[in-house]
């Protein structure tokens, strides 16, 4: 079935200009394959005229088969005062061998005069010639009208003339670009309607999120007649980013009821978002609409209670429709419902009739008051629930420890000694480390692996420190969050104390204890 709205992904070109985003050729190929499987209609691979990496990408991409998406190469109109056929940049574009070529040209007279330093007439000729030349090479040609909205606002007649020049040259689409990202939906809609009224070809929209309206502007253009939309996964892009496709696509599907990617692909939306963050090595944004980990989280007690009774009461849509899931956050706002849902999520058979429930809730609230934060520390929360339910001795105890640091010339050495008790046995170990926490971790681990060899696989993967001031008049406290992994799953534990080493030790002890008891939790998942 033909889409009503075509999705043109420019993550690999516009998105790669985002802060902290850099893709290797191998990354780009992996992403292109994933986007093709997801079902976008076009994948803009790069600008062969701007860097050799993009030329190599197209050389390799040519050898692969894309089943759903058409690959597009990006470039600009010919240089002024030469023939299109004599322009090196255009030759590179054609050589990229893609079925689609996208070129951008100038709409705004300010740019024509000041940036290109040419006449309005030559700019029109540059657009028309370039499009015609590329059509002669038998490609689908997308014309990106740079600064379409600023240009139109400045001089509507000239802006329309540039778009008509693209149409005369044979362009398949004119895409109106809000290059500076400063337009508002009403203007976007009005100008898109004006273009729609005079052009006989299809219209697309390309927006940036500079004032937080990237997606809203794209939707405004679509409602005004655009049938093609350009954007990036997770909104990657220069400055604050591009129109975010992981927001736009579900809005089209569920809110505007317009068909874009195949409906079944919506279930993969969160996965695609995570995949991109992983490859780009970008920390996932929990607050991204639809796909963020906080998008369907519930914290306040009354909300959670209502959600339990009727999910529709506090959720605009079922999170599983976009591959996301409901999350219950534990905090001092938590009510009994939060604890029950969280405990069940962690594998405990807790109901509203469980006698220990009130004790758990009181313990969570008391600790949160001291500066603990359990919403990000599943591991420690699971241990807290378990300790309240079962009066069992812990698998090990730290009886004493000592940490010291000395400086030797340019290097400093940290040393930790730990005395650990397991049942009736004792272990006393010493270890060096890069820092005090690392030394403590090494000492503790080497003491415990004698008793629990499978702890060998547990690794500390992240360590975060924050200063919290709980009650007025007390010393500042340090909150330490430790993320650990055994290669299969990961968990987070927490420690809070005035002393950073003590806080770290608490989090380390919880991390290893959770690592030991993890099997028990996962085995009893209800």
Comparing CB distances to Zn ion, the nearer of 14 and 167 is 14
Angle in degrees, 0-180, between the axes of helices 185-198 and 156-169, rounded to the nearest 10: 50
Q: Kindly write out the interface string for residues 253-282 of this chain, putting x where it contacts Zn ion by CB under 5 A and - elsewhere.
A: ------------------------------
Minimum Å gap between C-beta 164 and Zn ion is: 23
Minimum Å gap between C-beta 141 and Zn ion is: 18
Pick the piece of the chain touching Zn ion (CB under 5 A) from 8-16, 83-91, 324-332, 371-379. Answer: 8-16
Report angle CA 324, 326, 330 to the nearest 5 degrees.
Answer: 135
Pick the piece of the chain touching Zn ion (CB under 5 A) from 10-18, 364-372, 378-386, 406-414. Answer: 10-18
Among 423, 420, 451, 431, smallest CA distance to 515 is for 451
CB 214 within 8 A of CB 207: yes
What is the DSSP secondary structure assignment for residue 78, as one 8-state letter? P
Comparing CB distances to Zn ion, the nearer of 184 and 311 is 184
- The three state secondary structure string of 120-160 is HHHHHHHHHHHHHHHHHCCCEEEEEEECHHHHHHHCHHHHH
Comparing CB distances to Zn ion, the nearer of 31 and 398 is 31
Comparing CB distances to Zn ion, the nearer of 148 and 350 is 148
Comparing CB distances to Zn ion, the nearer of 14 and 483 is 14
CB 44 within 8 A of CB 175: no
Comparing CB distances to Zn ion, the nearer of 10 and 492 is 10
Minimum Å gap between C-beta 181 and Zn ion is: 8
Tell me which residue has its CB nearest to Zn ion.
14
Q: Is residue 14 within the footprint of Zn ion (CB under 5 A)?
A: yes
Pick the piece of the chain touching Zn ion (CB under 5 A) from 14-22, 55-63, 299-307, 391-399. Answer: 14-22
CB 67 within 8 A of CB 36: yes
Enumerate residues 6+ apart whose C-beta is below 8 A from 62.
97
Mapped onto helix, strand or coil, the DSSP state of residue 237 is coil
CB 48 within 8 A of CB 95: yes
Pick the piece of the chain touching Zn ion (CB under 5 A) from 9-17, 36-44, 221-229, 462-470. Answer: 9-17
Minimum Å gap between C-beta 14 and Zn ion is: 4
CB 235 within 8 A of CB 246: yes
Pick the piece of the chain touching Zn ion (CB under 5 A) from 6-14, 47-55, 92-100, 318-326. Answer: 6-14
CA distance 484 to 29: 31
Distance of CA 515 to the CA centre of its chain: 28
CA distances from 493 to 163, 226, 293, 378, 508 (A): 58, 49, 18, 7, 8
CB 286 within 8 A of CB 293: yes
Comparing CB distances to Zn ion, the nearer of 14 and 253 is 14
Pick the piece of the chain touching Zn ion (CB under 5 A) from 13-21, 133-141, 279-287, 433-441. Answer: 13-21
In the region spanning residues 64 to 83, those forming contacts with Zn ion, defined by CB under 5 A, are none
**Which of left, alpha, beta for 228 (phi over 0: left; psi -120 to 50: alpha)?**
beta
Minimum Å gap between C-beta 175 and Zn ion is: 10
Comparing CB distances to Zn ion, the nearer of 181 and 292 is 181
Minimum Å gap between C-beta 115 and Zn ion is: 16
Minimum Å gap between C-beta 303 and Zn ion is: 38
Q: Is residue 44 within the footprint of Zn ion (CB under 5 A)?
A: no
Q: Is residue 146 within the footprint of Zn ion (CB under 5 A)?
A: no
Comparing CB distances to Zn ion, the nearer of 230 and 297 is 230
Minimum Å gap between C-beta 310 and Zn ion is: 42
Q: Which two tokens stand for residue 123?
A: 């700019």
Minimum Å gap between C-beta 23 and Zn ion is: 17
Pick the piece of the chain touching Zn ion (CB under 5 A) from 12-20, 290-298, 382-390, 497-505. Answer: 12-20
Minimum Å gap between C-beta 86 and Zn ion is: 28
Contacts with Zn ion by CB under 5 A: the residue count is 1
Among 172, 183, 176, 173, smallest CA distance to 159 is for 176
Comparing CB distances to Zn ion, the nearer of 162 and 478 is 162
Enumerate residues 6+ apart whose C-beta is below 8 A from 185.
213, 216, 217, 219, 220
CA distances from 64 to 44, 262, 290, 484 (A): 15, 22, 32, 38
Minimum Å gap between C-beta 147 and Zn ion is: 11
Minimum Å gap between C-beta 27 and Zn ion is: 20
Comparing CB distances to Zn ion, the nearer of 189 and 243 is 243
Comparing CB distances to Zn ion, the nearer of 74 and 396 is 74
CB 203 within 8 A of CB 148: no
Interface residues with Zn ion (CB under 5 A)? Answer: 14
């Amino acid at each position: 079935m033909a889409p009503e709205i075509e999705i043109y992904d420019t993550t690999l070109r516009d998105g790669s200009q985002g802060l902290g985003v850099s893709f290797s050729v191998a990354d780009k190929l992996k992403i292109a394959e994933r986007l093709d499987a997801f079902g976008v209609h076009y994948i803009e691979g790069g600008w062969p005229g701007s860097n050799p990496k993009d030329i190599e990408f197209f050389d390799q991409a040519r050898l692969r088969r894309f089943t759903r998406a058409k690959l597009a190469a990006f470039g600009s109109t010919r240089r002024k005062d030469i023939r299109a056929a004599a322009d090196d940049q255009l030759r590179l574009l054609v050589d990229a061998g893609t079925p689609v070529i996208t070129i951008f040209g100038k709409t705004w007279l300010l740019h024509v005069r000041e940036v290109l330093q040419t006449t309005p007439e030559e700019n029109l000729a540059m657009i028309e010639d370039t499009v015609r030349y590329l059509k002669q090479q038998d490609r689908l040609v997308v014309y990106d009208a740079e600064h379409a909205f600023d240009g139109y606002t400045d001089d509507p007649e000239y802006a329309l003339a540039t778009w008509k020049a693209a149409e005369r040259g044979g362009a398949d689409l004119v895409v109106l670009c809000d290059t500076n990202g400063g337009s508002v939906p009403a203007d976007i809609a009005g100008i898109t309607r004006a273009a729609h009224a005079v052009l006989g070809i299809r219209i697309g929209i390309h927006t940036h999120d500079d004032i937080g309206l990237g997606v809203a502007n794209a939707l405004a253009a679509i409602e005004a007649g655009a049938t093609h939309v350009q954007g990036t996964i997770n909104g990657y892009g220069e400055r604050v980013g591009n129109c975010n496709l992981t927001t736009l696509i579900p809005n089209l599907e569920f809110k505007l009821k317009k068909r874009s990617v195949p409906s079944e692909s919506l279930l993969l939306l969160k996965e695609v978002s995570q995949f991109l963050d992983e490859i780009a090595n970008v920390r996932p944004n929990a607050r991204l609409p639809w796909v963020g980990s906080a998008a369907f989280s519930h914290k306040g007690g009354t909300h959670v209670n209502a959600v339990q009774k009727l999910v529709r009461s506090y959720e605009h849509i079922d999170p599983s429709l976009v591959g996301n899931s409901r999350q219950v956050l534990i905090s001092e706002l938590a009510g009994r419902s939060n604890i029950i849902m969280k405990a069940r999520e962690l594998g405990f058979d807790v109901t509203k009739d469980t006698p220990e429930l009130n004790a758990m809730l009181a313990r969570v609230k008391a600790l949160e008051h001291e500066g603990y934060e359990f919403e990000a520390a599943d591991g420690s929360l699971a241990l807290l629930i378990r300790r309240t339910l079962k009066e069992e001795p812990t698998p090990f105890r730290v009886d004493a420890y000592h940490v010291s640091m000395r400086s030797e010339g340019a290097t400093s050495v940290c040393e930790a000694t730990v005395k650990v008790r397991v049942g009736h046995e004792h272990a006393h170990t010493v270890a060096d480390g890069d820092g005090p926490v690392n030394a403590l971790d090494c000492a503790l681990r080497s003491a415990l692996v004698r008793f629990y060899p499978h702890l060998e696989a547990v690794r500390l993967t992240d360590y975060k420190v924050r200063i919290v001031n709980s009650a007025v008049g007390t010393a500042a406290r340090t909150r330490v969050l430790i993320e650990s992994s055994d290669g299969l799953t990961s968990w987070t534990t927490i420690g809070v104390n005035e002393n950073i080493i003590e806080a770290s030790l608490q989090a380390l002890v919880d991390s290893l204890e959770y690592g030991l008891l993890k099997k028990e939790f996962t085995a009893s998942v209800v």
